[in-house]
Amino acid sequence: MQTHPLRLSPGDDLRGALEDALRELNLTAAFVLQGIGSLSVAQLRFAGVEQPTELRGDLEILTLAGSISPDGAHLHMSVSDARGQVFGGHVARGCTVRTTAEILLALLPEHRFSREHDARSGFPELVIRAKG
């Protein structure tokens, strides 16, 4: 495992930037170990809900974790608003960095992640393979 720190800038799409980073590093597997920063817009899909909920305002990223594959990212995040109210869920596209996002990736160059349909869950799930 190698680590790779990232800093995202105002206006960046959080999820898109992380997926782009994996491609730019020419890798096929990574985990987000942690992320902090701020957002002006968060798109979070809550448990059991099909569509994301949009949150707007001055939002602080409290936690960010997940996996990234060439098929896309599976990320969960918690954010707090200006009143300290906390929201958490699955990260969708459209989360806009407000001032910064500081993220630590765990790069796994000896692995290849993919997302494939899982008959038991009914969803595309992470499949881990050794690169060979």
Per-residue pLDDT, 32:
98
Per-residue pLDDT, 132:
76
Backbone angles phi and psi of 85, in degrees to 5: -70, 135
Q: How many Å apart are CA 10 and CA 59, to the nearest integer?
A: 13
Structure tokens at 55: 């949150």
How much is the average pLDDT of 71-98? 97
Per-residue pLDDT, 13:
98
Backbone angle region of 13, left / alpha / beta, with phi > 0 → left and psi within -120 to 50 → alpha: beta
Q: How many Å apart are CA 42 and CA 55, to the nearest integer?
A: 5
Q: Which domains does the chain have, with CATH numbers?
A: 2-130 (3.30.1330.80)
Element containing residue 3 per DSSP (H, E): strand 2-8
Between residues 131 and 4, the one the model is more confident about: 4
Q: How many Å apart are CA 5 and CA 52, to the nearest integer?
A: 27
Per-residue pLDDT, 35:
98
pLDDT tens digits, 92-116 = 999 999 999 999 999 999 999 999 9
pLDDT tens digits, 21-75 = 999 999 999 999 999 999 999 999 999 999 999 999 999 999 999 999 999 999 9
Q: How many Å apart are CA 20 and CA 65, to the nearest integer?
A: 16
Residue among 34, 37, 39 nearest 97 (CA): 39
pLDDT above 80 for 1: yes
Question: Is 103:63 a contact under the CB 8 Å cutoff?
Answer: no
